A and B are shown apart, each in its own frame.
Chain A
Amino acid sequence: MVRIFKNIVKHDTMKKLRFLSITIVLCLIGLFASAQNRQIQGTVRDAQGPILGASVHEKGIRTNGVATSIDGKFKITLRGTGQVLVVACQGYTAKEVEVTGNTTVDVTLEATTQDLSEVAVVGYATVPKKTLTGAQSAVSGADIRENPSASLQNTLAGRLTGFISQQTLGQPGADGASFLIRGQSSLNGNNNPLIIVDDVEFSYDQFQNIDANEVESVTVLKDASQTAVYGIKGANGVLVVSTRRGKLGKPRISFRNDYALSQPTILPTYLDAYNTALLVDQANVNDGVTPRWTQADLDLFKNGQDPYGHPNINWHDELFKKFATQNKSTFDVSGGTETIKYFVSLAYIDQGGLTKDFSAGQGYDGNYYNHRYNYRSNINITANKNLEIKIDAYGSIGQVNTPSVYYPSTNGNKNDVFGEYGSFLALAPYAYPIKNPDGSWGYSNYQQSVTNYVTPNIIQRLTLDGYNRANSNNNVLSFQATQKLGFITQGLSAAGEVAYTNNYTSTIGLTRQNLPSYIYDPVAQTYTPAFANVYRLEKLGTNYVASSTQRRITANASLTYDRSFGDHHINALMLYNLSSYTTSLPITNINYSNYNFVPSTTLGTTARATYDYKKKYIVTVSGAYNGTDRFQKHFGFFPSASAAYNIAEEPFFKETIPFIDQLKLRGSYGLVGSDALASGQTYVYLQSYNPSGGNQAISFGETNGVSLPANNGIQEGTLSNANVTWEKSRQLDIGVDFGLFGSKINGQVDVYNYNRYDQLIGRGTVSAIFGQALPPVNLGRTNTRGFEIELNYHDRIGKDFTFNLRGTFSKSTNKIIFEDEASTLYPWQAYTGHPLGAQARYHFLGFYSAADIADPSVAKAAASVTKAGDLKYQDLNGDGVIDARDQAVSDVTNTPVNNFGTQIGFGYKGFSVSALFQGATGFDVAGSEEAIRAFSANFQAIHQQAWTPALGDNAKYPYLTSTRTISDPNFASDFWAISGNYLRLRTAEIAYAFPAKMIRKIGLQSLRIYLSGNNLYTWSSAFKKYALDPEAAYGTPEQVYPPQRVYNMGLSITL
């Protein structure tokens, strides 16, 4: 305690304040002895507890002020005639307190969620937002924490401009959305933004597992002026996560506990056995074969009198719970003294699975789950007034479980409950009875004769087949020291950082095969084994795969110079950066089959200088000279320049338009790079000669059929490209930041135009006579442009009612300028000029009628397969035949063009309500095979609207057939690609914070309870039409673990 006190005394500003106040008190005593002389004392606190170092002064007399002590206590003697105190502290909204008649006041300050409104995170530093010249969008940790989702990126959708995310999966531990910043630009398929967590590069997987409670802010750096410091890795945008750090004050201990129920946003329910059988018969009639099910069968399906011979199982109800549960607890301690500040947290999340707990009683947990522990210890040590040291240790330890439902199939091995649930061949409603009358596991003749889908009883597999479990272990240690070098020149400081990341993953499986089940014949009352020679349950077997260790060493050394000369201010940074990554992941590579722990190193020097005059005219130049060992020419220079003009600071402006108190015009232009190669490519500049073999291995001179080493093969691999280099992007961004009415309304608008060139693409114009696969070459060019608007409005009505509104809108379009495409036969076949990822599609005109079929002038796919009720496509080239040449490249892709979000929040005293609506438009989704195609997928309502002569063009689905025709979803067409536009109530929270007075009695600093949710409601036509989640992977061939709707309730306590 004594030591803390000493430290406070040491503190510069404290010293000054104390000196000042003492002086002033003395003067005032002498000069205004006649004025009131009332002493007021009290405590300043926030939701978590007392605030140290808050300033309290008498309104109107700035000189009469004091600072609060470690307990948040202050004493002040009023000198003037006013009766109002002003309480302020950085990071909090200043408050005026009337003290008429009081001698004791307790003041509770509210944290401005916005450190972000004043400070902006940029690469390797923070800067005052006022002097920011680039485009970025940020969200605070507090906002993120409103969303109970387990994966960090799922909390960001709709909150940030320029951030496009798509969550395709909801499986516990694998539900992180994929995301892009300002859309796609690279033709090589690698558009992932760089993720930086406290200056350390993270992968998507690592990022997903960050606990939201540890996050101070997430910032998206968008334009070249922001990303050029990352040079060769900056072109896809950068996402920067800053974590929470300790603040001066007593230890604050917080608990937060969340309990949530989750259920799928959408999981189709399928027709029952009777209706399925009806449609099967309908298809059989269409195909001209004897209907599979007789009227007697149909009756039995309908009346359920033969549950073993004609089962009718609602697999949805048999397999899945109504809700899965999710449990999350976080615990953190933060605080600090002058010497040491700390933020220490622990978190545990338990995400449960949707399938019922069939394996309960087997002695293991076979259900889906995600268990994750997060820990973080962020320590700041102020060794002396010039040296600051940060020691951070953090990580996550996770275990993701999946039930084993493995079965081998000549159609690819299967091991997915949801895929099977949607599959007609695997799990028709009449597939088999679950149990036989004697208690044995059921099976049926029907299922036994389904080619490629001889799937053992699914409930039996879920019960007895064991599990597969992935363990991951991601640990980061970071050491950073900052030394002020004032003894050389004022404002100079040096810093160094070393961080080590170790991410280890392994999988274990406890599985078994050959499960005995029986086909029960209700007439003869016999039990026939479903599988020959399988009568007993084998023991479980273990398999363990020690997968890999990924190591990353990051080292930075930097010099910072920050100094004001009167109205001139200079901030400059010079940084040396090294990041070295090794992994043993076997990556199939065009020129090298295995990473084999060869490090991938990026290193270079980064510099940035900002000059501002009166914070009015600001110029920033930055650049990186950095490189990678993935290219023979290692280093490149990536410069950018940006400028801003705070026009609202001009006196004339203040006079003419006083209600605009902030208006900044800014622009930036620069060059950034991307060293990302297409998936599976590493050392493109090296020519290699690869082993050949596998099933094609030749085997000379053998009589026993065993492969001999002498028979190995070796071959020339894909040619090398010695000149391979990084992709480059020239990025122009023009923006306006504004604040109106005391910044109650504020926002920003950005317009950008990116030209990405030297993209690594495959050659499309070299004849195969060349005889070898060609390496990627730096030829591709694309253009990405768009605009973003962010608008915030916050205000209060009366004393207690506050509200805020935040809207974000981002539009991003792109097109291919050049991709070395051979001149096509017809103009509509060319991809050039269309968006990245565009698909060639047929254009749907309607359904073939019987008359169309008879009419030879109506184009058909091929005379023998087209029937009435098939999808009629436009014959673009007019040759009378529908073939690939009639597929035109579309202009709509699976990446949304428009992304928007609206957040609305209200607060009244302790109550607060907030809701975030998020949506995306301008994109397509499609399903195929077991997601939607009749006879591959189970039958759902849409199939009942299949074409019949009576329905004609009112049909919603082509005529039912078990054979494949041009109507098959595998033939891309604009019939199957449907609009993905959606609007979601992404996040909502209702919270109540108990009044401080009430809870202090039970020894708490704060107590808050809340209800929150994720994906609470969705408006989407894709939902209605095909029961597809609009964020599903394009053309998804099967059902997957669907994204979850989460209902959460929680409690947070601060001691």
Chain B
Amino acid sequence: MKKIIYIFLLYFFAVAVLPSCKNVQNEPRDLNTLPLIFDPQDLNATLAQQFLNNIYNYLPAGFNRIGGDFLDAASGDAISSLSNTSISYYNNGIVSSTTNPDPYFSNSYNGIRQVNIFLANIDKVPVPPTNLTRTITWKAEARFIRAFLYFELLKRYGGVPLIGDKIFSLDDNLQLSRNTYADCVSYIVSECDAIKGQLNLEPISAATNLGRIPRGAAVALKCRVYLYAASPLFNGGGIEGDATLKALTGYLTYDASRWQNVISAAEELIALNAYSLVQSGTTGYVNIFFQKQNTEVILAKQQINDFALETADSPVGYAVNNVQSAGRTSPTQEFVDAFSTINGLPITDPASGYNPLAPYTNRDPRLNAIVFYNGSLWLNRPGGVQTFDGGLDRPNMPSANQTRTGYYLRKFLADNSTSSSYSAQSHNFVYFRYAEVLLNYAEALNEVGRTEDAVTQLVLLRKRAGLQAGTAARYGIPAGISQTDLRNLIQQNDRRIELSFEEHRFWDLRRWKIANTELNKTLHGMQITKNSNGTFTYQVVPVTTIVFQDKLYHMPIPYTETVTDANLKQNSGW
């Protein structure tokens, strides 16, 4: 009896328990693997294309990407409406190698690695007979993004280690040294030149390729790299005493011919004949940013339509679907004052027609497109935006967020002047557009002494902006303007306004080497009092004082990098 039971138990155990140990799916069988992604059988290259798509994600996000704020909130053009957000570290001087809000270091190298993996494997994927250039174009796109990421590093830190096509494994020596600034410039430029013929040629098919890297982007990147390289900070004007360090962050000596490179690159792009300024009266400027496809944008980050930007930046008195707008960005009075009047003359010019009692009338039409001021029309509210003291958009409640300057940022938002709520809109952050190339061109022309040629370029932009032509159709630019005056005009007016909040000014102030004056000052706002008769009294008041230390001309290499890679030299002053 007991033997039978014993045997039965053994049998039961064998039948019930032992089989469960075999054929057990003990690890996931639904993983993507490298051979699956770069599949030699797949003519469609389905996953390989997705791998390339992802590489685009490493391009910077733009807009309010730094803790909810625009990078330009650290450029004197605006401040964050909130105190002590990370962007303010640039303004109050507490940036350090551990607290830099915008390092973009590991992200860039992460992207570069993905590019290198793509380049190393994509040739395994067959080329379809119907599209013989597919692989070539894709490789060029990936290489462009790699070059772009190197430029992101270069403008922040100066020269960084160039790793070529290397895909590191853990056995590799990672104690890399920085390449010089000159090395990096030539590398990026050579990459741009090498791929420009292989990229998607204009016109770009909107249905399939909109947002993919076009040929023009390579030329525009080259133009920008040359522009930075020719600028005072990098063109022999480095702040470092030590020659080795100086070579890492710029050229050792000045060379005027570097401006010529900018001119040729700009002319190369213009000669493509693929791009032009968007013209449609005074709304032309607005349309650049929310029409998905237009003739001016060379490359923008394609994103799904939404209204996150509207919610983040609209004045705080507007609530849509019970979500209060955050009004994150407060443009400064200095920025608003940089706008000329409608005739193109600065407001300090007695002939400009500027009226301090009605400061927002008869101004450069771009003012209305870029800034919300008291009275701007928005979401159909009668009387418009209320940034007067106690107004809906400046209620002066404690602990309530509101503008600190009397202005909110309007640029990039779809035109909701008369709509009842926000709707999903295209918000593609523009990396390169034709206007920038023209401005680069103008700046370089002026620097090599061709001042009147430069004026010609600026006039194109002023005209598009909707300014009045004025005398000799110079749109407010004085006849016979000197090189210095035109340089100031570009720096303080034309380039500043046209490219505002597109992450140019922050870097422009540095490359021009004027940050130590432009970012060492008290910034102002407008205090507006509503009088009992319905009129407003305007008073410019100081809002905050920002500081700039010379070491901030170059960003600190992140602390973790300098301790893990002993050969990575830290920039001067950090």
A883 cross-chain contacts in B, Cβ below 8 A? 94, 96, 98-99
A483 lies within 8 A of B5 (CB): yes
B176 lies within 8 A of A769 (CB): yes
Known contacts A451-B399, A712-B50: A771-B84 contact under CB 8 Å: no
CA–CA, A494 and B305, complex, Å:
68
B17 lies within 8 A of A861 (CB): no
Task: Annotate B13-26 by CB proximity to A: 1 below 8 A, 0 otherwise.
Answer: 10011001100111
B92 lies within 8 A of A864 (CB): yes
B565 lies within 8 A of A767 (CB): yes
B186 cross-chain contacts in A, Cβ below 8 A? none
Nearest-Cβ distance from residue B28 to partner chain A, whole angstroms: 5
B105 lies within 8 A of A698 (CB): no
Known contacts A387-B5, A699-B303: A578-B21 contact under CB 8 Å: yes
Residue of A nearest to B84 (CB): A964
Nearest-Cβ distance from residue A390 to partner chain B, whole angstroms: 13
Q: Which of B52-60, B268-276, B364-372, B486-494 contacts A (4 or more CB under 8 A)?
A: B52-60
A789 cross-chain contacts in B, Cβ below 8 A? none
Q: Does B531 contact A (CB under 8 A)?
A: no
Q: In the complex, which of the residues B21, B47, B112, B311 has the most CB atoms of chain A within 10 Å of its own CB atom?
A: B21
B117 cross-chain contacts in A, Cβ below 8 A? 716
Task: Annotate A601-622 by CB proximity to B: 1 below 8 A, 0 otherwise.
Answer: 1010000000000000000000
Q: Does A229 contact B (CB under 8 A)?
A: no
Task: Annotate B160-194 by CB proximity to A: 1 below 8 A, 0 otherwise.
Answer: 01010001101000111000000000000000000
Residue of A nearest to B17 (CB): A555
Nearest-Cβ distance from residue A447 to partner chain B, whole angstroms: 10
Q: Does A410 contact B (CB under 8 A)?
A: yes
Nearest-Cβ distance from residue B288 to partner chain A, whole angstroms: 16
A885 cross-chain contacts in B, Cβ below 8 A? 96, 98
B57 lies within 8 A of A716 (CB): no
B174 cross-chain contacts in A, Cβ below 8 A? 766-767, 769-770
Residue of B nearest to A598 (CB): B28
Q: Does A711 contact B (CB under 8 A)?
A: yes
B176 lies within 8 A of A712 (CB): no
A700 lies within 8 A of B9 (CB): no
A580 cross-chain contacts in B, Cβ below 8 A? 20, 24
Residue of A nearest to B566 (CB): A823
Nearest-Cβ distance from residue B231 to partner chain A, whole angstroms: 27
B395 lies within 8 A of A449 (CB): yes
A964 touches which of B6, B34, B83 (Cβ 8 Å): B83
Q: Which of A59-67, A398-406, A687-695, A893-901 contacts B (4 or more CB under 8 A)?
A: A687-695
Task: Annotate A27-48 by CB proximity to B: 1 below 8 A, 0 otherwise.
Answer: 0000000000000000000000
Q: Does B547 contact A (CB under 8 A)?
A: yes
Q: Does A935 contact B (CB under 8 A)?
A: yes
What band does the interface of chain B fall in when counting residues whose beta carbon is under 8 Å from A? 35 or more
List CB contacts (< 8 Å) of A458-500 with chain B. Answer: 481, 483, 485, 487, 494, 496, 498
With contacts defined as CB atoms under 8 Å apart, how many contacts are there between chain A and chain B in the complex?
264
Q: Does A696 contact B (CB under 8 A)?
A: yes
B208 touches which of A387, A446, A689, A700 (Cβ 8 Å): A700
Q: Which of A90-98, A243-251, A414-422, A702-710 contacts B (4 or more CB under 8 A)?
A: A702-710
A599 touches which of B1, B24, B207 (Cβ 8 Å): B24
B304 lies within 8 A of A706 (CB): yes
B303 lies within 8 A of A698 (CB): yes
A362 cross-chain contacts in B, Cβ below 8 A? none
Task: Annotate A430-456 by CB proximity to B: 1 below 8 A, 0 otherwise.
Answer: 000000000000000010011110100
Q: Does B210 contact A (CB under 8 A)?
A: yes
Task: Annotate B113-126 by CB proximity to A: 1 below 8 A, 0 otherwise.
Answer: 11011000000000
B559 cross-chain contacts in A, Cβ below 8 A? 825
A596 lies within 8 A of B6 (CB): no
Residue of A nearest to B103 (CB): A768
CA–CA, A705 and B161, complex, Å:
38
CA–CA, A383 and B319, complex, Å:
75
Q: In the complex, which of the residues B32, B54, B301, B311 has the most CB atoms of chain A within 10 Å of its own CB atom?
A: B54
What band does the interface of chain A fall in when counting residues whose beta carbon is under 8 Å from B? 35 or more
Known contacts A700-B302, A771-B109: A963-B98 contact under CB 8 Å: no
A698 cross-chain contacts in B, Cβ below 8 A? 53-54, 56-57, 211, 301-303
Nearest-Cβ distance from residue B139 to partner chain A, whole angstroms: 17
A699 lies within 8 A of B27 (CB): no
Known contacts A703-B293, A713-B57, A768-B105: A553-B176 contact under CB 8 Å: no
Q: Does A683 contact B (CB under 8 A)?
A: yes
List CB contacts (< 8 Å) of B528-571 with chain A. Answer: 545, 547, 558-561, 563-565, 568
A454 touches which of B5, B21, B163, B324 (Cβ 8 Å): B324
Task: Annotate B361-388 by CB proximity to A: 1 below 8 A, 0 otherwise.
Answer: 0000000000000000000000000000
A483 touches which of B2, B34, B561 (Cβ 8 Å): B2
A865 lies within 8 A of B92 (CB): yes
A688 lies within 8 A of B32 (CB): yes
Task: Annotate A377-418 by CB proximity to B: 1 below 8 A, 0 otherwise.
Answer: 000000110110000000000000000000010100000000
A485 cross-chain contacts in B, Cβ below 8 A? 6
B37 cross-chain contacts in A, Cβ below 8 A? 689, 714
CA–CA, A384 and B400, complex, Å:
80
A771 lies within 8 A of B113 (CB): yes
B54 lies within 8 A of A713 (CB): yes
B96 touches which of A483, A496, A532, A884 (Cβ 8 Å): A884
A383 cross-chain contacts in B, Cβ below 8 A? 5
List CB contacts (< 8 Å) of A659-689 with chain B. Answer: 683, 686-689
B175 cross-chain contacts in A, Cβ below 8 A? 767
B114 touches which of A710, A716, A862 (Cβ 8 Å): A716
Known contacts A703-B206, A864-B92: A592-B400 contact under CB 8 Å: no
CA–CA, A697 and B211, complex, Å:
12
Nearest-Cβ distance from residue B255 to partner chain A, whole angstroms: 30
A557 touches which of B13, B105, B401 (Cβ 8 Å): B13
A686 lies within 8 A of B27 (CB): yes
A483 cross-chain contacts in B, Cβ below 8 A? 2, 5-6, 9
B326 touches which of A410, A496, A774 (Cβ 8 Å): A410
Nearest-Cβ distance from residue A456 to partner chain B, whole angstroms: 9
A450 touches which of B53, B110, B399, B563 (Cβ 8 Å): B399
Residue of A nearest to B6 (CB): A483
A774 cross-chain contacts in B, Cβ below 8 A? 170
A701 lies within 8 A of B13 (CB): no
A449 lies within 8 A of B301 (CB): no
Residue of A nearest to B93 (CB): A862
A578 lies within 8 A of B17 (CB): yes
Residue of B nearest to A632 (CB): B27
Q: Does B49 contact A (CB under 8 A)?
A: yes
A601 cross-chain contacts in B, Cβ below 8 A? 24, 26
Nearest-Cβ distance from residue B116 to partner chain A, whole angstroms: 8
Q: Does A629 contact B (CB under 8 A)?
A: yes
CA–CA, A767 and B5, complex, Å:
65
CA–CA, A492 and B176, complex, Å:
66
B50 cross-chain contacts in A, Cβ below 8 A? 691, 712-714
CA–CA, A764 and B561, complex, Å:
10
Q: Does B398 contact A (CB under 8 A)?
A: yes
Nearest-Cβ distance from residue A336 to partner chain B, whole angstroms: 21
A768 lies within 8 A of B324 (CB): no
List CB contacts (< 8 Å) of B294-313 with chain A. Answer: 301-305, 311
CA–CA, A692 and B319, complex, Å:
32
Instruction: Enumerate the 7 nearest inter-chain pairs by beta-carbon distance, A residue then B residue, closest first.
Output: A705-B305, A771-B113, A713-B54, A768-B106, A629-B26, A822-B563, A767-B565
Q: Can you report 15 residue pairs joining A to B where beta carbons are below 8 Å apart?
A: A450-B397, A555-B16, A592-B28, A599-B26, A683-B28, A700-B211, A702-B292, A705-B426, A716-B113, A767-B176, A768-B564, A769-B174, A771-B112, A822-B560, A963-B83
Chain B interface residues toward A at CB < 8 A: 1-3, 5-6, 9, 12-13, 16-17, 20-21, 24-28, 30-34, 36-37, 47, 49-51, 53-54, 56-57, 61, 83-84, 92-94, 96, 98-99, 105-106, 109-114, 116-117, 161, 163, 167-168, 170, 174-176, 205-212, 292-293, 301-305, 311, 316, 319, 322-324, 326, 395, 397-402, 424-426, 545, 547, 558-561, 563-565, 568
